[in-house]
Amino acid sequence: MKFSWKSRKPAFGLAAGTAAAVAATVALVGAGPSEAAPVSLTLNYNCPFPLIGDQVLSVKIDTNLPDNAVAGAASTPITFDVDVTVPETATEGLALVGATSLDGSAKAAAVLKYPVDRTLNLNLPLTIGSTPVPPSGAFHVKSSGKAPAVTFPSPGTASVTVGNFSTTMTPRTADGQPTDLGTFTSDCVAVPGQNQQLGTFEIKPAGGTTTPTTPTTPTTPTTPTTEPTTPTTTPTTPTTEPTTPTTEPTTPTTEPTTPTTEPTTPTTEPTTPTTEPTTPTTEPTTPTTEPTTPTTEPTTPTTEPTTPTTEPTTPTTEPTTPTTPTTEPTTPTTQPTTPTTQPTNPPGGIEVKYSLQGKSVLKQLHATLPLGPGTLDAKLDAASGKFGAQLALPKSDVYFRVLGFIPASATVKLNQVGAITGTLAAGAVKADARIDVQLTKVRVFGFPILSSKSCHTVEPANVPLTSAPGFDPLKGGKLTATYGIPRFTGCGFLTGLITGITSGPGNKLDVTLTKK
């Protein structure tokens, strides 16, 4: 950001003594500050992004601070130039939704402190022009804006401190249309512990500039010059006298002018009549409007003629009347269409595939069930953050001891029931999964005592999956859950035993998703 300070040139006339003094005053007060060397400051900000959560952005601010500010002088608007470095992760998130460019606006907070103990809070509007989004890697978003003009009442030291900023952006596809993210706002907060002062500058007293002007004032000859000017003014007075007679003829001239104005008045009168015809014209217009009403009525008749014309087609016209009701259902049809679109939103248009690996600690068995390698395929709606997912896990063996000393094992198959649904917001996942727990084999001392396709929980286990903040849908992350295992059915004579040693709350699940 550049603070551009332009000097203001004094404007004054070519009169005598008093006018010259006024011009001198204008020159002193109106003179603006000169430009100094550029000032630059780079700060880091935490900025929340849709889906991917908080990202750290580097922001470079450029400006010019004045080195000759004068008390009582209004500054010109100060220009800021901002260069934001968007990190690679944010680029990947934009690429995920098909963004090839973005544009928008921002508001940056700054504090201007100046003598004596005065503070001006600035809310600077910034414009973000259309900026290409690369397929990968970091990129730069540049914007600029101006602060309002400020008049410093007192001399002393002034400072500018940069605050937080808020940006509103619209990512767009290659055809210029907004992506599924739509337009979003990100409120960015400066990372604590940074020096946010952009710079300081001195405001000089207006009297300092007036001092050289004071020696100029003692130019006594200026006073004599004013005296001759007075005689000159005296002849000017007689000249003014003839001017007075001249003004007298001018008065008669004004008199004819008055008559001329009189005809003008009649001219205005005809104009009024002209307006009168206009009024009648308006009257016909009113009738015209009346016919227009009939015209609307004829429109109905027009439908009638249409009916006659369509007398063979009259039956067709009658179906046409139902066509109007058909239009009415069309409206409802549009309404259902909206809900239909809403259900479509949760699956979304963005497909993300993950590999899955993890484990589940079974509290009652005092055993750990390995999970994976499996897959989780998700469809994400970028605008709402809602998603639907399908889980696929292979069978896995769990080893445990019955009554604490008899070695046993079981082959477990976890089957998803219904869709896994959830939300991804600010880098955090919340999802609900319903899992049917099936035991296909049970062994004791290594010998199979059960082989079944019907031994499973009487109802699906509810598994509430969550992630810690910072889940990156572009890379993956960890999901955890605490869930209960319902009682079992279909396990033959072992049903009661299996339920007794397996079912219950407090089971832990911990899986890691890795984007393919």
Instruction: Give phi and psi for 66, each to the nearest 5.
Output: -70, 150
Supply the pLDDT for residue 74.
78
At 72-90, the pLDDT tens digits run: 887 766 788 999 999 998 8
Specify the pLDDT at position 483. Answer: 97
Query: How many Cα atoms sit within 13 Å of 514 on the Cβ side?
Result: 7
- Per-residue pLDDT tens over the stretch 38-71: 899 999 999 988 888 888 999 999 988 777 788 8
Peptide bond into 116 cis (omega under 30): yes
Flag whether pLDDT at 436 surpasses 80.
yes
State yes or no: pLDDT of 271 exceeds 80: no
State the Cα torsion 143-144-147-149 to the nearest 10°. -170
Reply yes or no on whether the pLDDT at 253 is more than 50: no
Task: State percent of the chain over pLDDT 70.
Answer: 65
- Label residues 125-163 b or e (16+ Cβ within 10 Å = b): ebebeebebeeeeebebebbbbbeebebeebbebebbbb
Q: Pick from 492, 480, 505, 497: which is nearest to 400 by CA?
A: 497
Average pLDDT, the chain: 72
Weakest mean pLDDT among 66-70, 304-308, 451-455 = 304-308
d(CA 232, CA 236): 6
When pLDDT is averaged across residues 113-121 and rounded to a whole number, the result is 89
d(CA 409, CA 119): 74
Find, among 176, 178, 162, the residue nearest to 50 by Cα: 178
Q: What does the DSSP 8-state code read for residue 185? A: E
Cα distance between residue 137 and residue 66, in whole Å: 38
Residue 309 lies in a domain: no
Contact (CB, 8 A) for 393 and 373: no
Query: Region 463-467: what's the mean pLDDT?
Result: 96
For residue 388, the model assigns a pLDDT of 94
CATH number of the domain enclosing 404: 2.40.160
For 356-399, what is each residue's pLDDT tens digit? 999 999 999 999 999 999 999 999 888 788 999 999 999 999 99
Q: Are 485 and 501 in contact (CB under 8 A)?
A: no
Number of domains in the chain: 2
Q: Is 163 a domain residue? A: yes
Token duo for residue 144: 């600029």
Quote the CA–CA distance of 99 and 177 in Å, as a whole number.
9
pLDDT recorded at residue 317 = 35
Spatial contact of 450 and 491, defined as CB atoms under 8 Å apart:
yes
Say what the pLDDT of residue 78 is: 74
Return the structure tokens found at 46. 């935490």
Q: What is the pLDDT of residue 76?
A: 66
Identify whether 394 is part of a domain. Answer: yes
The residue out of 187, 204, 221 marking a domain boundary is 204
What pLDDT, on a 0 to 100 scale, did the predictor assign at position 147? 79
- pLDDT category of residue 504 using cuts at 50, 70 and 90: very high
| Range 112-134 average pLDDT | 91
What share of the chain in percent tops pLDDT 90?
45
Residue that is last in its domain, among 168, 187, 204: 204
* Stretch 307-333: mean pLDDT: 36
Do residues 178 and 170 lie in contact, with contact meaning Cβ atoms separated by under 8 Å?
Answer: yes
Angle at 194 between CA 190 and CA 196, to 5 degrees: 75
Which domain does 96 fall in, by range?
36-204
Question: Is 46 inside any structural domain?
Answer: yes
pLDDT at 208: 56
Cα first-last separation, the chain: 41
User: Binning pLDDT at 50, 70 and 90, where does residue 37 land?
Assistant: low
Mean pLDDT of 455-468: 96
Q: Is residue 500 part of a domain?
A: yes
For 188-223, what is each residue's pLDDT tens digit?
A: 999 999 999 999 888 889 875 433 333 334 333 333
Domain end call among 158, 177, 204: 204
The answer to the question of residue 313 being in a domain is no
Query: Given a cut of 70, is residue 293 above it in pLDDT?
Result: no
pTM as predicted: 0.57
Give the model's pLDDT for residue 366: 94
371 belongs to a structural domain: yes
* pLDDT reported for residue 312: 36
Let me know if residue 317 belongs to a domain. Answer: no
Supply the DSSP string of 326-385, one letter for each residue: HHHHHHHHHHHHHHHHHHHTTT-SEEEEEEEEEEEEETTTTEEEEEEEEEEEEEE-TTT-
